[in-house]
Chains A and B, each alone.
Chain A
């Protein structure tokens, strides 16, 4: 059996806003094994970032609050350990990269300084050792003339280069897990492919596990082993990537797959784009949150929110309807 690195159970995160309590994450559970890459997919605003930020307690508190759940990293619950302990996990055991490389680096600090910080902090390197290691790291992520570029500032790098720096920084201490929060969304298409390529190559060399967040099912196919689809703060379907593409079982997943331009719909079945907007939840729903947008909706969907349950080998879905038959399961 492979080693379980991360085991998240019943995670719930709220935000206190002037409009009311936003239920951003509503009892999310998932696991991540050694060497595995988990894709988390969903429209923007569905709680992907907050889920992963919660695991490292990086949600801004206030307004955020993690109200329930566990996030077990190896044998420690990251949500229960002290502030000092979790700091030693961040950057050292779990690295993170973010959506917008233009804003995720400190504009008034040199790349070199930002890159050496975790090395000095977690590995106890001297300035000089850290500098040398930084040059190596920049080389590894494919930045030419690395030793000259340490003294440069972020605005002197292009977007793609900055994301490479972020990757170097997140992997500087050889973490077990890399959390990548839509790292290609803000980049040009060609650069996107390069970044995905780079991460795949680094995964082969370093062997870390990855949680890859994206709203693009197309990207996830090329990198993930397993996919969790999120909607309104719930995971509504989870399956190995091939299974998910071959047999999406939640109407929302079907909609997401259909909206992919490159995927041809083989059967002449209903082709639809998902109408409407995902809801912001101010209350825990007593109906399926997708019901208002769902073409398969039945009576029961309006009175009871389905929980995630297994429908096959390592395939789980949260839907009352068997979309193959259109009838209640």
Chain B
């Protein structure tokens, strides 16, 4: 097991290089002149200035020189201070948000995490539970319902569903609200009276024993949580169901029955653990999706997470910010994959002991 984890860990730097190369390479598809626009603020742009920028930032240097500079930054020859360099956590400065990209991540990511936290658990448990139920009762009523739901769930777009929720739960009666928190909560946070242990609002509220704030956080998160759960349930349900159906046909399930086990034990102890293998793989990509920012959902509900930040940056052509957020998402992807691999090995001895 340790061996396996170490091998996976050694892969991480390789993956990092790959991710950064791809993301940086995509930006290089633009020519030096086009990229210089990121630095030139005057309008109309004059040719001299553009040339100057290209020279100053070395935008026409060979690809790997630029890539290296982007990774490690540039040292000022006089002060010795480093500028830029994503390896050192400098993701650049976002003009549209008027702050460092890393600060955008620092303020926005906890919100995305807060949302993900309350979505992941119900998403996984209910989705899997429904999938197993449907498979065990194949072609019966609950299975038919589940199948209809999994089709509707995967085909009804998030923005339609989200708008429906907004209409029903917000526009008509304001039971639940878009945004992140009410004004009185944000004033309280600014005043410094509210201790932010984790920067996840709902968790901090519980830690401060401020249930009024917790309720306020939930009122703002319920609609995105429902939206995210509803799509992800459909996916989990579908994958669990088909994996479970396949597993139930396996010989070892018949063996388990032939030993006289109760059907409940046959399903819970023999079939389900095997059926979970593809589900765990999918769980990884779902979690990456949730953590990397759910752009549409956060935008529909005006929820200030990473996804909303990316959407804002994209709509204002803020390439530096998008690049930084893309790298961050890539990092999450790599870490989640690592976790999934370890989890997978934990469930499947054939992986663990090979």
Chain A residues near B (Cβ < 8 Å): 53, 56, 58, 60, 62, 87-92, 95-96, 98-100, 103-110, 117-118, 121-122, 153, 155-156, 166, 169-170
| CB of B256, distance to nearest CB on chain A (Å) | 7
Q: Evaluate contact between A58 and B257: CB separation under 8 angstroms.
A: yes
B20 to chain A, nearest CB (A): 37
Q: Closest A residue to B139 by CB, please name it.
A: A62
Considering the complex, give the chain A residue whose CB is closest to the CB of B255: A104
CB-defined contacts of B262 to chain A, threshold 8 Å = 87
User: Which residues of A have CB within 8 Å of B270?
Assistant: 106, 109
Contact A169 B259 (CB under 8 A): yes
Known: A117-B256, A153-B349. 19 other contacts (CB 8 A): A53-B254, A56-B258, A87-B261, A89-B260, A90-B257, A90-B260, A91-B259, A99-B251, A100-B251, A105-B255, A107-B350, A108-B347, A110-B349, A117-B259, A118-B259, A121-B261, A155-B353, A166-B255, A169-B255
Residues of B within 8 A of A92 (CB): 260
From B139, B248, B273, A108 is in contact (CB under 8 Å) with B273
A-B pairs with the 6 shortest C-beta distances? Answer: A91-B260, A91-B259, A90-B260, A153-B349, A104-B251, A103-B251
For chain B, the bracket of interface size reads: 20 to 34
B350 and A96 contacting across the interface, CB-CB below 8 Å: no
- Tell me the bound Cα distance from A156 to B353 in angstroms: 9
- Pairs A–B under 8 Å by Cβ, sample size 18: A58-B254, A90-B258, A91-B259, A96-B255, A98-B251, A103-B250, A104-B252, A106-B255, A106-B270, A107-B349, A108-B348, A109-B273, A117-B256, A121-B260, A153-B350, A155-B349, A155-B350, A169-B259
Interface positions, chain B 258-287, Cβ under 8 Å from A, are 258-262, 269-270, 273-274
CB of A87 within 8 A of CB of B260, answer yes
Chain B interface residues (CB < 8 Å from chain A): 138-139, 248-252, 254-262, 269-270, 273-274, 347-350, 353
Give the distance in Å from the alpha carbon of A66 to the alpha carbon of B260 in the complex.
19
Cα A95 to Cα B251 with chains together (Å): 15
Contact indicator A107/B257 (Cβ below 8 Å): no
Of A53, A90, A100, A108, which is within 8 A of B259 by CB? A90
A102 to chain B: closest residue by CB: B251
Nearest neighbor of A156 in chain B, beta-carbon distance: B353
Distance of A58 Cα from B260 Cα, bound (Å) = 10
In whole angstroms, what is the CA distance A156 to B270 when docked?
Answer: 18
Closest partner residue, chain B, to A84 (CB atom): B262
Q: How far is the CA of A155 from the CA of B259 in the complex (A)?
A: 21
Q: Could you tell me the dominant secondary structure of chain B's interface residues? A: helix
Partner of B256, one of A95, A106, A155: A106
B294 to chain A, nearest CB (A): 33
B274: chain A residues at CB < 8 Å are 106-108
Known contacts A106-B274, A109-B270, A153-B353; is-contact A117 B255 (Cβ 8 Å): no
CB distance from A182 to the nearest CB of B (A): 12
Answer whether A103 and B260 are a contact pair too, CB < 8 Å, given A108-B348, A155-B349, A156-B353.
no
The smallest C-beta distance from B203 to any residue of chain A, in angstroms, reads 34
The interface centre, meaning the residue of A89, A104, A106, A121 with most chain B CB atoms within 10 A of its CB, is A106
Per the bound structure, the CA–CA distance linking A117 and B250 in Å amounts to 19
In the assembly, what is the distance between CA of A91 and CA of B265, in Å? 15
Closest to B259 in A: A91
CA distance A109 to B139 in the complex (A): 29
With A107-B274, A107-B349 already in contact, the answer to whether A88 and B254 are too (CB < 8 A) is no
CA gap between A100 and B250 in the complex, in Å = 11
List residues of chain A with CB within 8 A of the CB of B353. 153, 155-156
Chain B residues with CB under 8 A of A56: 258
Q: A62-B139, A104-B251 are in contact. Are A96 and B258 (CB under 8 A)?
A: yes
**Closest-CB distance, A78 to chain B (whole angstroms):** 13
- Provide the residues of chain A in CB contact with B138, threshold 8 Å: 62
Q: Tell me, rounded to whole Å, the shortest Cβ–Cβ distance linking B271 to chain A.
A: 9
C-alpha spacing A196/B131, complex, angstroms: 42
* Alpha-carbon distance A89/B349, docked complex (angstroms): 32
- A58–B347 CB distance below 8 A: no
Across the interface, name the chain B residue whose C-beta is closest to A89. B260
Residues of B close to A156: CB separation below 8 A = 353
**Residues in chain A near residue B252, CB distance under 8 A:** 103-107
Instruction: Please tell me if the beta carbons of A88 and B260 are within 8 angstroms of each other in the complex.
Output: yes
Given contacts A100-B251, A107-B252, A108-B347, A91 and B258 within 8 Å (CB-CB)? yes
A103 to B246 CA separation, bound complex (whole angstroms): 13
In whole angstroms, what is the CA distance A144 to B258 when docked? 26
Give the Cβ gap from A316 to chain B, nearest Cβ, in Å. Answer: 29
A residues less than 8 Å from B251 (CB atoms): 98-100, 103-104
Q: How near does chain A come to B265, taking the closest CB pair, in angstroms?
A: 8
CB neighbours (8 Å) of A53 from chain B are: 254
Q: Select the residue from B248, B254, B350 with max chain A CB neighbours within 10 A.
A: B254
